[in-house]
Amino acid sequence: MQRLVLILLVIVSCKIAFANEEDSLKAHKGPHKVLDFFRQGHLSGQIRNFTMSTINDGPLNDYLANAIGASIHYETKQWRGLKLGLNGLFVYKGFSNDLLAIDSLAEKPSNYELQLFDIEHPGNYNDLDRLEELYVNYQFKDLNVRLGKMEIETPIVNKHDGRMKPKVFMGARAKYEMDGKYFFAGWFTKASPRSITHWYSIGESIGLYNNGCLPDGNPAEYHQKISSDGLGIMGTKLKVLKGFNLSLWDYYIENVSNTALVNPYFEDSSVYIGVMYLNQTGIKHGGNENFHSTYYNNQGNTHVISARIMYKQFKHRIQLNASHIFEGSKFIFPRELGMDPLYTFISRSQMEGFGNASAYTLAYVYEHKNLLCSTHLNKMKVSKDFEHNKYDIPSYWQFNLDLKYHFLKLMEGLDFRVLYIYRWTNDKEISAKQIFNKVNFHQFNLILNFNF
């Protein structure tokens, strides 16, 4: 908390200093001195408070945690197309019950609440610092090139900041955007996944989260056993005809797998119709020659199809979404690096890790001025065998209620979000380990963000 107060004081001091300089620099069209290059920069940031509680079924343990943190981003004034940027973040625990308490039936501790802090070092709740971004950016007409540590926004690999720390990457990327055409290309050698403090090579980062199970049912143990030199991403978004768009992306994890995503869609003021096709193949031995220590152990190509039909009228949107992963292999992409891009994805529910599975989502969204309210009802139908079920999760239903409110006028900059989740299963022949933090639970999330 002392660090939070100190940083707030530094921010106020910097703002005052920059404001005093502004009058003397009004006549300048750009920085004339190195000092001006920094004085005319832009300072921004966010203070976040996140409270989460998971109520598990019956005698299974319940958990509660609150985290508070802040991030500060500074970017210099652009000079001849060049600018520098950096972003730092820290997190502290506000309060919680014992998140490390092992449930006597499931023989596991908290899952979701620990992700507010550092899942690599459970029990470390203080001084969780991380240098999020440190980059050099170059802008030339419609071309933007960035080198260093940065956030990324693509369909699969993105910052995915649903906790206190987003996913960030180190490498180089280029973006080109003009006249309805968008192109992206990047190569990344390191990552700092969500809920992790340190930076790792791409190979080392795979497996920091749950390793799941092998097709024979034994626990998978591939963390620190995957060899990969980096992650390559290429993508484009094109406006083909009026209302018709095409999005193409490819994700290449060297020595592990390749994932291609094709997404044509039509959108106008009242209708959205889209289809996704995802194809995934292994590269060499999927990260390790030893079958029991490899990441991508599918025996064939993965084929996934997803679709959305949405009707929009004034403040209302109704969606019907469906996805299917075909039998014979699983859709697996390291959760440390990416997330489910399919139309059926909702908070706390994704199809990554499943094969021979289907998901259906009915959604209603209401948006008016600074209020956004959405409800989602999701049905996930999966196979029970480990060949198609990496994380041993039974079929389930899930209901989400998501309320977001952005304050105006006096409280401008403050965002408020309430997310309620209820997931349940009709499968009666499952163990406590399959229930705990997987099905038959309620979860409450209260998030306050102050952006400045």
Chain segment 120-163, per-residue pLDDT in tens: 999 999 879 999 999 999 999 999 999 999 999 999 999 998 89
Mean pLDDT, all residues of the chain: 92
Q: 3-state SS string over 263-295? A: EEEEECCCEEEEEEEEEEEECCCCCCCCHHHCC
Comparison of pLDDT for 103 and 11, the residue scoring more: 103
Q: Classify residue 430 as left (phi > 0), alpha (psi -120 to 50) or beta.
A: beta
pLDDT in tens, 20-78: 455 444 444 556 677 787 888 999 999 999 999 999 999 999 999 999 999 999 999 99
Instruction: Report residue 43: phi and psi, to 5°.
Output: -110, 130
Q: What is the pLDDT of residue 371?
A: 97
Model confidence over 407-443: pLDDT tens digits?
Answer: 998 899 999 999 999 999 999 999 999 999 999 999 9
380-384 average pLDDT score: 97
Q: Tell me how far apart the alpha carbons of residues 438 and 415 are, in angstroms, rounded to a whole number.
A: 29
Q: Helix, strand, or coil here: 115?
A: helix
Residue 299 is predicted with a pLDDT of 73
Q: How far apart are CA 54 and CA 48, in angstroms?
A: 20
Q: Residues 334-353: what's their mean pLDDT?
A: 97
* 191, burial (CB in 10 Å: exposed 0-12, middle 13-18, buried 19+): buried
State the DSSP code for 116.
Answer: G
Q: What is this structure's pTM? A: 0.92
